[in-house]
Amino acid sequence: MKLTLTNHTFSTLLNSSLINLRRPFCSSSLSSSPSTSFKPKVPIFLRPPIYSTKLSDLKKWHNWAKNIASSIGSSFVQSDNGPDSTILCRELKWFIEDVVEDHHSVFSHMGVKDNDENERVKMRADIDELYCLWKQRIEDRKPFQYIVGCEHWKDLVLSVQEGVLIPRPETELIVELVSDVLSKNDDLKRGVWADLGTGSGALAIGIGRILGNGGKVIASDLSPVAVAVAAYNVQRYCLQDKIEIREGSWFEPLKDMEGKLAGLVSNPPYIPSNDISGLQAEVGKHEPRVALDGGIDGMNALLHLCDGADLLLKSGGFFAFETNGEKQCRELVDYMKSNRSASLCDLEILADFAGIQRFVIGFHR
Amino acid sequence: MVVVSQPLCCNTIITTAKTFTSSSSSSSSSSSSSSKQPLLIPQFPSSSSSSSPSTHFLSFRTTLTRSPSPFPPPSLLFATPENQLSVGEGEEDTHTSDSALQDFYSLRRDVEIASQRVKEIRESSALQLLEQELANLEEEASSSSFWDDQAKAQQTLSTLADVKDKIKLLNEYKTQVEDAETIVMLTEEMESVDKGLYEEASSVIKELNKSLDRFELTQLLSGPYDKEGAVISITAGAGGTDAQDWADMLLRMYVRWAEKQRYKTRVVEKSPGEEAGIKSATVEVEGRYAYGYLSGEKGTHRIVRQSPFNSKGLRQTSFSGVEVMPLLPEESLNVEIPEEDLEYNFSRAGGKGGQNVNKIESAVRITHIPTGVTLRCTEERSQLANKVKALRRLKAKLLVIAEEQRASEFKQIRGDVVKAEWGQQIRNYVFHPYKLVKDVRTGQETTDITSVMDGELDLFIKSYLKHKFSMTLSTSGVN
């Protein structure tokens, strides 16, 4: 499957010195990104506020954007269970938070306080770009997270862009599951973990931050875009010493780790191929198919990962996989029981916060 | 009781008293004293701390006993217009006896008013009960087993100090106002206005009034969270666009009010209505006593007007609910709620979830199962952040309800929900057919509805606080 990597306007702003202007967590530059020459985009909220706009112009844009959002009503909901106006308006508010430097004083009173119309505000993107981006949001149904270039996930703000799966709130739970396991087992806390198909690096970073001294995460991804974005995120959270990113398919780049891993996590593509076309446009038309499509029954990658768990985990090692839910969980557990019962044990199915049986966890004997 | 007044430094006060004593006793040419009094005393009005009890009347008695002659002897008759009440040291000297007389009359009136105020405050403070309480506490403190429970003993002592201070303060007010009354009487007997005495009395009254204001406020805003900032949540009631517009008007009203108080406001959440107005909004108001003032705004607000949203312009009644919670600092929320008492609901777009869906729906609803108190947080961008914030607000809410219901444990709390509907309103805002804003709890009303909507709420806020205070007194005596 091909990555849908169109339209990569690499921001000229992207150079490490500018990035470091805005309190990233790290002082080292990005030049040390692994292998690839691919440069990830800088999320809007990390760009310098070099654009000055008249408040009245910003308000004009805001009204325009709000009207479009309101005009959507529930038509997206009806067509493909997409967002309704309420959600779009909330996105708009967050968009402004990311774009306008001093958004609290300027925009929290929008419509309440009479501001001086000639007042100017500092922004991280040009006003014309705002029009363009919001149009893409509504007309092309480009995901909000690609518009602003980031996703708030757990207590992290992760950079994302076209070609990288946007981490979902469900997946946050895997970090909590790992955290539970670590709290009971110091050995695993100091061990090496793997996040296969890391995407933006969300799971790797979430786990990297709760591992103890000596603990480490190896994150792999097939896509060079994902590898670059994950590296960027790892660097933003100063976890280069704890997280190593390797380019390659699943556990191929982890051959040296056979029987050594303390833990293995993954949120692999699990949507059955036939379902892809019916997905909401934000997902189906924009997110990388390679990160979504799990084959005919959606189980291809999950079954492959069972082999990985068998092969890579050391004795007592822990694994957690996200699935499409319910039936897939049961099938995965059945598969493990009938084919991997010699190595995998204590299998358990866990529900996400919406009550859907979402995760399969277990240990290596 | 929480002592709310600004921290007064007792050292400074004592020093001031000393300075003053020496200056007044040593000065025979005492223009210094008369010019110093208004400077010194105003800065340090009677305090609840341990200033010398004689501070307040030093200013007066000493003036009386020393020869009061920096100014011409009081030989002037009231009715001689040619005579000027000339002033020493050549400062402003256009004080005709006429205006002196007028000043005196207005002073006399001020003294009468102050005297009435002192009387009322002393009555409403239930001085006798306070003295009884003092006696009880002192007895308790002198018992041999008093120090067995250190923590309780400390608390008792601190209550004792508070009660003592309060009684002292109330007695000081009485002495002060009596001093002023004496001057008024003296002046009347002398049938002439002595400028020194006059200034003496008017400065006493001025300071007394300031001090009374502060005392009243302290009494009215003595709840444990009154000092804190506030979170106002406004929710449109049933009634569609009209109610949503009304909610928006209330939002504007409170933001305006807060700006007038120089509080910092932040609209943290706002969900727009379909046509106009808002379905709900949450505003954080930062500043001292924001919660104390706003807490009485909690309840249902009702509007009656010609609807701008239907063509016939029919008279329309709408409701909006206002919730007020203190904006508590992290460290004051160290109450632990057992996890099993909490239920989290994460709204999710439905369907298969996971990779199938991408909606920035991160709202978290949290329910405290034993009480049924529920809170929703949508403003943050990740579920975790909303969860943390929702829990914080829930704790603040439970603390406040517990306080209101005088419950010692969360489990004793009864449900507490503002219902934005008929029959529950705390205040009516009538725009049509006449203009009137009326608080149904206090009876306070005004026809100037425009100012009210522009944030002129002090009238209502103050009268409610007074109302609440007298209610607590009548139901519980003095605690």
Residue A2: inside a domain: no
Instruction: Give the nearest partner residue to A271 out of B251, B274, B355, using CB atoms.
Output: B355
CB contact under 8 A, B355 and A93: no
If you count them, how many residues does chain B have?
479
Residue A211: inside a domain: yes
From chain A residues 24-53, the ones with a CB under 8 A of any chain B CB are none
User: With 60 as the cut, is the pLDDT of residue B43 above it?
Assistant: no
User: With 60 as the cut, is the pLDDT of residue B123 above it?
Assistant: yes
Q: What's the angle, vertex CA A29, arms to CA A24 and CA A35, rounded to 5?
A: 120
Q: Are residues A141 and A175 in the same domain?
A: no
Q: How many CB atoms lie within 10 A of CB B277?
A: 24
CB contact under 8 A, A113 and B255: yes
By the CB < 8 Å criterion, does A195 face chain B?
no
Strands in B334-473 per DSSP E: 342-346, 364-368, 373-377, 425-430, 436-439, 445-446
Residue A101: inside a domain: yes
Model pLDDT, residue B33: 38
Which residue in A has a C-alpha nearest to residue B268's C-alpha?
A108
Which residue in B has a C-alpha nearest to residue A289's C-alpha?
B355
Span B40-48, average pLDDT: 36
Model pLDDT, residue A29: 42
Span B213-241, average pLDDT: 82
Model pLDDT, residue B267: 87
Q: Are residues A307 and A192 in the same domain?
A: yes
> The domain that contains A184 carries what CATH number?
3.40.50.150
**Are B205 and B114 spatial neighbours (Cβ–Cβ below 8 Å)?**
yes
Closest C-alpha among A129, A125, A95 to residue A110:
A95
Q: What is the mean pLDDT of chain A?
A: 85
CB contact under 8 A, A109 and B383: no
Q: For the ranges A128-137, B42-51, B365-374, which has the lowest average pLDDT?
A: B42-51
Residue A163: inside a domain: no
Which residue in A has a C-alpha nearest to residue B256's C-alpha?
A113
Chain B residues with CB-CB distance to A93 below 8 A: 270
From chain A residues 119-138, the ones with a CB under 8 A of any chain B CB are none
CB contact under 8 A, B271 and A143: no
Q: Are residues A210 and A87 in the same domain?
A: no
Model pLDDT, residue A24: 42
Q: Are residues A127 and A181 in the same domain?
A: no
Looking at the structure of chain A, the number of domains it has is 2
Model pLDDT, residue B124: 74
Chain A residues with CB-CB distance to B267 below 8 A: 108-109, 112
Model pLDDT, residue A117: 63
> Distance (Å, rounded) from C-alpha A139 to C-alpha A162?
17
Report pLDDT digits (tens) over A96-124: 989 998 776 665 555 545 556 678 888 99
CB contact under 8 A, A352 and B354: yes
Q: Are residues A194 and A232 in the same domain?
A: yes
User: With 90 as the cut, is the pLDDT of residue B101 above it?
Assistant: no
Q: For the ranges A267-271, B194-198, B243-247, which has the lowest average pLDDT?
A: B194-198
Model pLDDT, residue B385: 83
Report pLDDT digits (tens) over A306-325: 999 999 999 999 999 999 98
Span B226-233, average pLDDT: 87
Q: What is the mean pLDDT of chain B?
A: 74
Roughly how many angstroms between the first and final C-alpha of chain A, as a whole number?
Answer: 35
CB contact under 8 A, B267 and A108: yes
Kindly compute the dihedral angle of the four CA atoms of residues B121, B126, B130, B136, in this order, to the nearest 10 degrees. 180
CB contact under 8 A, B350 and A81: yes
Q: Are residues A209 and A358 in the same domain?
A: yes
Residue A299: inside a domain: yes
Span B433-442, average pLDDT: 91
From chain B residues 254-293, the ones with a CB under 8 A of any chain A CB are 255, 259, 265-268, 270-272, 274
Chain B residues with CB-CB distance to A358 below 8 A: 353-354
Model pLDDT, residue A3: 41
By the CB < 8 Å criterion, does A275 face chain B?
yes
Q: Are residues A222 and A323 in the same domain?
A: yes
How many Å lie between the alpha carbon of A103 and the closest alpha carbon of chain B?
11
Q: A85: domain range?
A: 44-148
From chain A residues 168-187, the ones with a CB under 8 A of any chain B CB are 168-172
How many Cβ contacts (< 8 angstroms) between chains A and B?
117
From chain A residues 93-122, the ones with a CB under 8 A of any chain B CB are 93-94, 104, 108-109, 112-113
Residue A224: inside a domain: yes
CB contact under 8 A, B348 and A113: no
Closest C-alpha among A137, A133, A165 to residue A151:
A165
Model pLDDT, residue B28: 40
Instruction: Give the nearest partner residue to A168 out of B255, B272, B354, using CB atoms.
Output: B354
Percent of chain B with pLDDT over 90: 12
Q: Are residues A144 and A277 in the same domain?
A: no
User: With 70 as the cut, is the pLDDT of residue B21 above it?
Assistant: no
Q: Are residues A144 and A192 in the same domain?
A: no
DSSP per position, A237-293: TT-TTTEEEEESSTTGGGGGGTTTEEEEEE----B-GGGGGGS-HHHHTTS-GGGTB
Q: Which residue has the higher pLDDT, A151 or B369?
A: A151
Residue A220: inside a domain: yes
User: With 90 as the cut, is the pLDDT of residue A136 above it?
Assistant: yes
User: With 70 as the cut, is the pLDDT of residue B420 above it?
Assistant: no
User: With 80 as the cut, is the pLDDT of residue A127 above it?
Assistant: yes
Q: Are residues A222 and A356 in the same domain?
A: yes
> Distance (Å, rounded) from C-alpha A17 to C-alpha A252?
35
Model pLDDT, residue B361: 67
Q: Are residues A274 and A177 in the same domain?
A: yes
Of the pLDDT bands very low, low, confident and very high (cuts 50, 70, 90), residue B72 is: very low
Kindly compute the dihedral angle of the four CA atoms of residues A145, A149, A152, A153, in this order, to the nearest 10 degrees. 90
Model pLDDT, residue B58: 34
Q: Which residue has the higher pLDDT, A205 or B75?
A: A205
Chain A residues with CB-CB distance to B349 below 8 A: 81
ipTM > 0.90 (yes/no):
no
From chain A residues 212-271, the ones with a CB under 8 A of any chain B CB are 267, 269-271
User: With 70 as the cut, is the pLDDT of residue B377 above it?
Assistant: yes
User: With 70 as the cut, is the pLDDT of residue A13 above it?
Assistant: no
Q: For the ranges A170-174, A317-321, B76-80, which has the lowest average pLDDT?
A: B76-80
CB contact under 8 A, A270 and B354: yes
Roughly how many angstroms between the first and final C-alpha of chain B, as a whole number?
Answer: 9
Span B345-354, average pLDDT: 73
Span B193-214, average pLDDT: 83
CB contact under 8 A, B354 and A324: yes
Q: Which residue has the higher pLDDT, B348 or A297?
A: A297
Model pLDDT, residue B61: 35
> Distance (Å, rounded) from C-alpha B303 to C-alpha B246?
7
Chain A residues with CB-CB distance to B359 below 8 A: 82-83, 87, 280
> Distance (Å, rounded) from C-alpha B269 to C-alpha B284?
9
User: With 50 as the cut, is the pLDDT of residue B449 above it?
Assistant: yes
Q: In chain B, how many H helices and how many E strands?
A: 12, 11
Residue A160: inside a domain: no
Model pLDDT, residue B223: 78
How many Å lie between the alpha carbon of B360 and the closest alpha carbon of chain A?
7
Percent of chain B with pLDDT over 70: 72
How many Å lie between the alpha carbon of B468 and the closest alpha carbon of chain A?
31
Q: In chain A, how many H helices and how many E strands?
A: 14, 11
CB contact under 8 A, B353 and A170: yes
Report pLDDT digits (tens) over B259-301: 888 888 888 888 888 788 898 999 999 888 888 899 889 889 9
Choose the most confident range, by mean pLDDT, from B125-134, B190-199, B449-458: B449-458
Q: Is B381 helix (H, G, I), strand (E, B) or coil?
A: coil
- Residue A260: CB partners within 8 Å, gap ≥ 6? A192, A312, A314
User: SS3 letters for A29-51?
Assistant: CHHHCCCCCCCCCCCHHHCCCCE
Q: Are residues A195 and A230 in the same domain?
A: yes
Span A123-148, average pLDDT: 94
Of the pLDDT bands very low, low, confident and very high (cuts 50, 70, 90), residue A242 is: very high
Instruction: Give the nearest partner residue to A83 out of B255, B359, B378, using CB atoms.
Output: B359
> Distance (Å, rounded) from C-alpha B146 to C-alpha B151?
10
Identify residue B69 by its one-letter amino acid code. Answer: S
Closest C-alpha among A346, A289, A356, A297 to residue A322:
A356
Model pLDDT, residue A209: 93
CB contact under 8 A, A108 and B344: no
Q: For the ranges A338-342, B79-83, B289-293, B466-470, which has the lowest average pLDDT?
A: B79-83
Report pLDDT digits (tens) over A14-50: 333 333 334 444 444 444 444 456 788 999 999 999 9
By the CB < 8 Å criterion, does B351 face chain A?
yes
